[in-house]
Structure 1
Amino acid sequence: MANCQNSNERLFGGAVVLEVADGCPDVKPAEDEWLALAAGTSKGFDFNPNTVTSDADDGGGYVETIVTNSDFTISFEGEVRKKDKLDQYGVGRFIEYFAGELKAKRQPGIWVRMDYGPVEFLGYMNVTALSSDGGTNDIVTFSTEFKVGDASTIEVTAAEALALTTDLTATKTVATGSALNMAVVVAGGTAPYTYVWKKDGTTVSGQTTATFNKASAAAGDAGVYTCVVTDSSLPVQTITSTACAVTVS
């Protein structure tokens, strides 16, 4: 399927991603500190609401249910690899961290972030389950579970779509020898963003920021320019600017 801006594919595969980050509950991790936990096979969440009921006579004949709190839980299952990929936190490091925190008589807390399609769960949570299974003829697997460690850190937010707040104009004229400047501004998605400038469909070397800048325009710079912006979310979001026809006079 083409990367259509109005596509509405169903959730599958990488649409649900779980990441973790070291740290304490008083400081939210920076974007580059988040790492995929491991080679995941299953991810999920359960709000586990605790409830009480009332059968008082002012309920119109219906028993009324009241949610008192939520035992929010995130679960993860994955495969054990002898060597984790560089962009993963890793099973070995995760087990060592858990055991080390228990030995130090501390809570095994860790930052957890899970993108669930258009929704993102984030918070400082405690590791409340960690087990493994594997036989001689089986792939070795592990499972873990996270429960709220610091309620003040829990966030459930809708993922903001990547959008251009400043787009290119449809046309632009520049005199020979003058500076050729164009810029886009994006919002939403997940920073940092990657910028690829293209002229007549071909990537322009050396132009990797939100601003296209050439100090002295020449006749060969005439053409149709676009800027393709990609964010750092999983799965990634990509948006392409309006095509700008540049004339060098």
Structure 2
Amino acid sequence: MSRTYSRRHRQPSPPSPVPNLAWWKSPLILGSIIAGIGIIGSTLWIEYTTQRVIHIRADDSSDSAEKYSLERQQHCRASIQQYKPGDIAITTAFADRPITTQNISIFNSLSVLSQCNKAQRPIKNQQPGTSLILLLEDVNRLIKKERDRQNYNPVVVTITLQDTEPVPNQPQPDDQQLQELVHQITAHQGTIMFMVEDPNLSSQLQTVLSNETYAEICSFTDISNCVNKAFEVARKL
């Protein structure tokens, strides 16, 4: 008597599930986290160990420089891009006289960016002329004021200048007086950058200030690079 046996197809066993490792035990995830912390830490270290500075930004706001509103705005934006928390930002406008329009400690540079959109000059001439001498005297006064407050951080002065013009009832400036005023700035741990539109004035300043290591004359058409260079020098003083 024949017997019929049914064949049973044995199903293959499912693969054993891979045990889920806790995220802190995964070398890939843990390595990524450590790398991220390292990048953030090094960035913060650079940010908060960078030398803080006192920045004096001065713009020619005379009648003859009225059409250069874009250059003044560019000067403003380039400066703000260089600011670090703890910097002091002093803004000055000058024509026949200088006036200080702002003196603040930087907490967040973005908070002051809107001021760069102002095209209108903050002052206008009371009498004809543009006095660089009065401006430099005022810059030295501002530096002394910060030193009196026990702020001994380096100073960076950036100036946009269309031209200098005689001011009535004021002594005519001479080269020696100009050199002495600039030297007072550089002698107090300062650097100064003139961004000049008039080529004759630019040449004159280069001659007069040729012995001043931390005074430089720059092109009116290259404001951003001039400002960047001035800050780079100042933060290393």
Q: TM-score range by the shorter chain?
A: under 0.3
User: In terms of Rg, which structure is larger?
Assistant: 2
**Structure with more helix by fraction:** 2
TM-score for the superposition, normalised by structure 2 = 0.22
**Structure with more strand by fraction:** 1
Comparing both chains, which one has the higher relative contact order based on Cα–Cα distances under 8 Å and sequence gaps of 6 or more? 2
TM-score for the superposition, normalised by structure 1 = 0.21
